[in-house]
């Protein structure tokens, strides 16, 4: 009775044999397992795969972007790094970068390709803040990543020099490290001191601007907010570097907004789907 009153006519998708869905996963990485889930697209496929990489600590998960991509025909994977939000192990920036590599390998395995009808030739990384930096670093190291999108990317490899020039930024960041690693309430299993030291001693090859040549020729979507000075500094440096390399496949956008793009969520969805359709199919 209710269904009829609302005008329901049955399935909301064309292929009733292969409906959209959601599946929980445990992905092995190092000595632990990562909590993860897949938004699976409707249809037989094979489907392109979008992997979402959250920031530090990951309060904005960008699942609205994942839902939009799934509706556009993409399988979408979300996961939490080791030691974050209940995933096993201990969080570190090095572990997070390793986790991305392990997740890519896992999703390319024959078992997962068959289970989720994934096209391994069409894998895209989309990261926000720290996740944006991880996406760019992972793509620089993995030529099989078809396209990369980075929102307000954090360039950890450039932080040692920045902290030397701006000690107040080091102080503020270290205080925040303490907040997110609080044993009673923090989402990360780590310590402020270990994270501070890891950033202060970040290796040069974590600077994705310096490694940008490895991305040249592949589709890139870079988006920055304008209200966070450090975001704009990083965005400008990366765009200038790519343009100096003559990269014609760069899409660069700025929004007058805050770091999580609070006022532009619908615009982000529209831009992402347009970019995926135009550049990554």
Q: Report pLDDT digits (tens) over 156-172.
A: 999 999 999 999 999 99
Which residue is listed with tokens 């307000």? Answer: 152
Q: What is the model's pTM?
A: 0.94
pLDDT grade for 5, boundaries at 50, 70 and 90 = very low
**Which tokens is 156 given?**
């950890």
Q: Which strands, in side-by-side order, build the sheet including 250-255? A: 21-29, 32-40, 75-79, 47-53, 118-128, 147-151, 220-225, 250-255
Between 184 and 13, residue with greater pLDDT = 184
Cα gap 161→200, rounded to integer Å = 8
Cα gap 173→156, rounded to integer Å = 12
CB 256 within 8 A of CB 224: no
Nearest-10 Cα torsion for 122, 89, 26, 67: -50
Please provide residue 142's backbone torsions phi and psi, each rounded to the nearest 5 degrees. Answer: -135, 100
Considering only CA atoms, which of 114, 140, 138, 143 is closest in space to residue 127?
138
pLDDT grade for 147, boundaries at 50, 70 and 90 = very high
Q: What angle do CA 109, 114, 118 make, to 5 degrees?
A: 80
Over the stretch 237-255, which tens digit does the pLDDT of each residue have? Answer: 999 999 999 988 999 999 9
**pLDDT surpasses 80 at 7:** no
Cα gap 174→145, rounded to integer Å = 33
Confidence (pLDDT) at 248? 82
**pLDDT surpasses 60 at 2:** no
CB 219 within 8 A of CB 281: no
CB 116 within 8 A of CB 275: no
**Which tokens is 88 given?**
């096993």
H helical segments located in the chain: 2-5, 63-71, 93-107, 110-116, 130-141, 159-165, 167-180, 192-200, 229-244, 265-279
Confidence (pLDDT) at 133? 98
Which residue is listed with tokens 């024959």? Answer: 110
Q: How far is CA 16 from the centre of its chain?
A: 31
Pairing of strands 32-40, 21-29: antiparallel
Side-chain-facing half-sphere of 111: CA atoms under 13 Å: 3
Confidence (pLDDT) at 247? 83
Q: Look at the alpha carbons of 257, 212, 173, 128 in this order and tell me if their dihedral is positive or negative.
A: positive
Considering only CA atoms, which of 111, 174, 150 is closest in space to residue 238?
150
Confidence (pLDDT) at 17? 78
Q: What is the residue-averaged pLDDT of the chain?
A: 94
Over the stretch 82-115, which tens digit does the pLDDT of each residue have? Answer: 999 999 999 999 999 999 999 999 999 999 999 9
Over the stretch 206-227, which tens digit does the pLDDT of each residue have? Answer: 999 999 999 989 999 999 999 9
CB 54 within 8 A of CB 3: no
Confidence (pLDDT) at 13? 58
Pairing of strands 32-40, 75-79: antiparallel
Cα gap 213→160, rounded to integer Å = 22
Confidence (pLDDT) at 9? 44
């Amino acid at each position: 009775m209710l269904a009829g009153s609302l005008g329901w006519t049955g399935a909301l998708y064309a292929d009733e044999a292969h409906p959209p869905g959601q599946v929980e996963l445990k992905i092995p990485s190092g000595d632990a397992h990562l909590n993860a889930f897949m938004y699976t697209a409707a249809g037989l496929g094979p489907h392109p795969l979008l992997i979402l990489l959250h920031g530090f600590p990951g309060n904005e998960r960008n699942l609205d972007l994942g839902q939009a991509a799934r509706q556009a025909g993409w399988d979408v994977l979300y996961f939490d790094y080791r030691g974050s939000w209940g995933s096993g192990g201990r969080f570190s920036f090095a572990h997070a970068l390793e986790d991305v590599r392990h997740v890519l390998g896992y999703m390319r395995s024959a078992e997962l390709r068959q289970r989720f009808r994934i096209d391994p030739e069409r894998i895209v990384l989309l990261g926000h803040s720290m996740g944006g930096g991880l996406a760019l670093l992972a793509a620089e190291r993995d030529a099989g990543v078809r396209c990369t999108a980075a929102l307000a990317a954090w360039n950890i490899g450039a932080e040692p020099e920045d902290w030397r020039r701006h000690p107040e930024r080091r102080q503020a960041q270290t205080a925040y490290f303490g907040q997110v690693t609080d044993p009673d309430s923090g989402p990360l299993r780590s310590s402020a001191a270990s994270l501070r030291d890891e950033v202060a001693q970040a290796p040069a090859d974590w600077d994705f601007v310096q490694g940008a040549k490895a991305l040249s020729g592949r589709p890139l979507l870079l988006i920055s907010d304008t209200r966070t000075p450090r975001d704009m500094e990083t965005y400008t440096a990366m765009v200038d570097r790519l343009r100096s390399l003559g990269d014609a496949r760069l899409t660069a956008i700025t929004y007058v907004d805050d770091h999580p793009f609070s006022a532009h969520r619908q615009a982000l969805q529209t831009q992402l789907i347009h970019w995926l359709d135009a550049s990554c199919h």
